[in-house]
Amino acid sequence: MITARQSRAARALLGWTQETLADRALVSLTALKRLESGHRAVYESTEDQVRRTLEAAGIVFLTSDQGEGVMLVHTEVKGSKHSQ
């Protein structure tokens, strides 16, 4: 499960609008807004699609006894100057 705050923070790290995430996750903008409001329930499948889309873009969801957060992981591209 991802929280409304995690979804908003992940989008901020990626520089995505709600429209961009909804398009990439193949969910309606209305459903994404409900998810990110935190006040209304959304289908588990909608939440799962959003989570998978964000993870595919490099987002890692963090949860601990002290709270939750997100992290953007940069993956190395084969053949780049930085990969050795």
The answer to whether the Cα torsion of 19, 21, 22, 24 is positive or negative is: positive
pLDDT in tens, the chain (84 residues): 899 999 999 999 999 999 999 999 999 999 999 999 998 889 999 999 999 999 999 999 999 999 999 999 986 655 545 444
Q: What is the pLDDT of residue 56?
A: 97
pTM of the predicted structure, to 2 decimals: 0.85
Q: Return d(Cα 33, Cα 81) in angstroms, integer.
A: 40
For the domain made up of 4-72, the CATH class stated in words is mainly alpha
For the chain, what are the domain ranges? 4-72
